Amino acid sequence: MIENSFNRRGFLKVLGWGGATVALSGCGNTSVEDGREFVTSYVQTADYIIPSIGTYFNSTCAQCDAGCGIMGRVREGRVLKLEGNPKSSINNGKMCGLGQAGVQAHYNPDRIREPLLRNGDKGEAIPWGKALELINEKIGGVKAENIAFLTGGVSGHVKALLKNYLDALGSGHHYVYEAVAPSIMRAANRKTYGVEMPRLRLDKAKVVVSFGADFLGAWISPVHFSQQYARFRKADNGERGVLVQVESKMTLTGANADRWLAIRPGTEGILALGLINALAAAGLSVPGDVAAVVREYTTDRVSKDTGVSAEHIGRLAALLKERSPSLVIAGSAAEGYAHGSQNATAIALLNQVLGNVGKTVEAPSSIPFPQMAPSTGNRFALQSLNDNMAQDKVKVLFSYGVNPVFTAPASMKLKENLKKVPFKVVFAHYMDETALEADLVLPLNSALEDWATVMPEYVAEGAQLNIQQPLMEKLYPGTLGMGDILLALLKQRRPDEYKGYEDFYSYLRSAMVSNKGALGGSTTDDDTFWDATLSHGVVKLVSTPVNMSGNVSAKGLVVPGPFAEDSAYPFHLIPAVSASLRDGRNANEPWLQESPDPLTTIVWDSWVEMHPKTAAKLGIVEGDIVEVASRSGAIKAQVYVFTGIHPDVISVPLGYGHEAMGRYAKGVGVNAFKILDPVFDKETGELAMHETRVKVSKAGRRVVIVKDEGPAGGNQMGRKIAVRVSSNKVNLSEEV
């Protein structure tokens, strides 16, 4: 095997010199001769390597937080492709496009390759030793309360080390921030069910009504839900589940619904209560206090408020009554509005009345190692950090796994407040918007060359710990894993406790092996246990279902009426979370940029979605560049006109519009995060993502949209290419 970039010419040089090399050794003619590179014969390859045969190693996907198990195909020391790990109960051997692009995060040409220290406007490469010493010195000079650690969702041993480091510093300021997390739903679930993340069993439901939850695209654990969806659509007995999606802007899930109901934004809670009323009228037994609350939500009134026709409300109520169990899910209807928590509670009440709790809404399992349980994030955490920075309370800031300069709305003035922090350390893969603001940038290993353990927030069955292991040698000697960095930092503070661990790998192995009894390895010796763990990639943990309360009270439930018209800003802006780009962290992976958006088929740019009626009213046609202005800012992008959106709504995808990060992300599209208005959910204080009101005006130019669909715009022109039939015409139980 030839290591490093030993090229053909170099190889011929060695051959050409032949015997002369013996005499000339030490003269430095080739890198092989003076020992900087070496040639290994195939006769003595590393374990498992057979030239031209791929070997698979299990690990965990880090492209989003779902924690799917992956198998990396490794050939001649390079990881080539990722497949799903069939042993993981989350994804059972399947993957999504975002996960597939994980190799492009690893081999990305724009990765940072060595630690960079700010010197004026430039970053100066420094060795790791100096970087870590600098951190030690800066931390020594400030009070513990002035140190802040900002991270994305973390779990597993990295989280445990992080906590130990913060304890060692004597500071508890760990801010966990996720830009597009379902945090209002988590809070609402905690209130109604006593758990943040109950298990949803689409596969057991006969009807699924989703209020804007894009569970097939970008919501929580899409690959897992997609598999459940397949069983829901084609149950063993041949019964086909019915999906009804209620939302103001069509998501991928909405595009797969039997009935997609365009609802006036923010009125989802009203529809939920109206459905309870209609169900009560149809004879479903409804508790007295609930019946009293919903009595005034007559179908006529609900239809008028929500824009959903009385006919559809009636049919939906009839369907829910007739086919049980069903499942009602609150997605963006809860996340979006200042009354999001109320919407979520109303939707949970509907689930309760339908008797779904315990049937299709199941209790999750307890997590045996709470110190490794996932810390989920919210936007409120960023707000607190921002306030503290504004008041000069933060002297040293660490940032890991987030890009707040990109994802924070402009109204937060986060970038300005960051400048008040004297020393900012950013752990990063790319020079993204946040890394550009840092004083010290520490380059991380890619997820395919790093050790970690991951405990996903949503696990399908039981509790499990995922192993993330290197699938190949590091591409760059100058990068380091987060676990290794934390260990090095801990050695500065608590040398006696951690000096025994040479690196994070030895820490991880020792931590796992010493707990092997609880990790299913009580009867095996250490080496066998460890090898089996790495080989499986997932460790099943012994756990029991937690108690879930299922008594939603209608007491105090008030769902506000529809929004008042706003003549200055007549449209609601829905920032769309796409399956590929999510919050923008993967924008520098070209496969994702060139993967057409499923609904619009647009590539390599942002767009503004608009209903044909709205477009006609404004005199806009497809391709017009428009300015979308909110009270907090304005963006310009091309218009795409289609009928999967409510006429009162304008939608712009998130994740585009990077000003830095890399060649594939920079300058592509516009950043819709920036123009979000600071409106918050009243109960949780979370940013209400759909509350921004905007006005739209033509900016003069028109472009030809770069997209995959042809000029017919999705019309089959009478040809039978994609065919649709009514489900009562076929019998799925007779199919293979």
Q: Which of 500, 491, 673 is nearest to 577 (CA)?
A: 673
By beta-carbon proximity to other proteins, the closer residue of 341 and 638 is 638
Neighbours of 691 (CB within 10 A): 23
CB of 598 to other proteins, least distance (A): 5
**Alpha helix positions (H), 101-182:** 102-106, 128-140, 156-169
Q: Which of 287, 289, 217 is nearest to 251 (CA)?
A: 217
Residue position matching structure tokens 């516009």: 670
By beta-carbon proximity to other proteins, the closer residue of 439 and 622 is 622
Q: Rounded CA gap, 235 and 556, in Å? A: 39
Q: Rounded CA gap, 594 and 703, in Å? A: 18
CB of 86 to other proteins, least distance (A): 10
By beta-carbon proximity to other proteins, the closer residue of 592 and 696 is 592
By beta-carbon proximity to other proteins, the closer residue of 226 and 388 is 226
CB of 366 to other proteins, least distance (A): 28
By beta-carbon proximity to other proteins, the closer residue of 315 and 413 is 315
- Burial label for 525, CB within 10 Å (0-12, 13-18, 19+), is exposed
Helix (H/G/I), strand (E/B), else coil: 688: coil
By beta-carbon proximity to other proteins, the closer residue of 226 and 375 is 226
**CA torsion through residues 380, 386, 392, 395, sign:** positive
**Alpha helix positions (H), 179-331:** 183-193, 222-233, 268-281, 288-294, 299-306, 310-322
By beta-carbon proximity to other proteins, the closer residue of 3 and 137 is 3
CB of 411 to other proteins, least distance (A): 31
CB of 736 to other proteins, least distance (A): 4
Q: Is 137 left (phi over 0), alpha (psi -120 to 50) or beta?
A: alpha
By beta-carbon proximity to other proteins, the closer residue of 402 and 599 is 599
By beta-carbon proximity to other proteins, the closer residue of 255 and 281 is 255
Q: 503-511 — which CB contacts under 8 Å span 24+ positions? A: 504/161, 504/451, 505/451, 507/157, 507/161, 507/483, 508/157, 508/451, 508/452, 508/453, 508/483, 511/157, 511/160
DSSP annotation of 436 reads H
Q: Rounded CA gap, 538 and 68, in Å? A: 10
CB of 3 to other proteins, least distance (A): 13
DSSP annotation of 154 reads B
DSSP 609-657: EE-HHHHHHHT--TTEEEEEEETTEEEEEEEEE-SSB-TTEEEEESS--
CB of 81 to other proteins, least distance (A): 5
Q: Rounded CA gap, 121 and 115, in Å? A: 15
CB of 595 to other proteins, least distance (A): 5
By beta-carbon proximity to other proteins, the closer residue of 199 and 323 is 323
CB of 574 to other proteins, least distance (A): 15
Q: Rounded CA gap, 609 and 484, in Å? A: 45
Q: Rounded CA gap, 387 and 601, in Å? A: 40
By beta-carbon proximity to other proteins, the closer residue of 36 and 663 is 663
**Helix or strand run (H / E) with residue 201:** none
**CA torsion through residues 6, 7, 10, 15, sign:** positive
Q: Which of 638, 604, 633 is nearest to 694 (CA)?
A: 633
By beta-carbon proximity to other proteins, the closer residue of 111 and 339 is 111
By beta-carbon proximity to other proteins, the closer residue of 281 and 319 is 319
628 Cβ partners below 8 Å, 6+ apart? Answer: 573, 608, 634, 635, 636, 637, 650, 652, 675, 694, 695, 696
Q: Which of 637, 625, 636 is nearest to 702 (CA)?
A: 625
By beta-carbon proximity to other proteins, the closer residue of 174 and 572 is 572
CB of 637 to other proteins, least distance (A): 14
CB of 663 to other proteins, least distance (A): 6
By beta-carbon proximity to other proteins, the closer residue of 355 and 598 is 598
CB of 175 to other proteins, least distance (A): 33
397 Cβ partners below 8 Å, 6+ apart? Answer: 147, 148, 149, 150, 385, 389, 418, 421, 423, 424, 425
CB of 145 to other proteins, least distance (A): 43
CB of 75 to other proteins, least distance (A): 6
CB of 193 to other proteins, least distance (A): 27
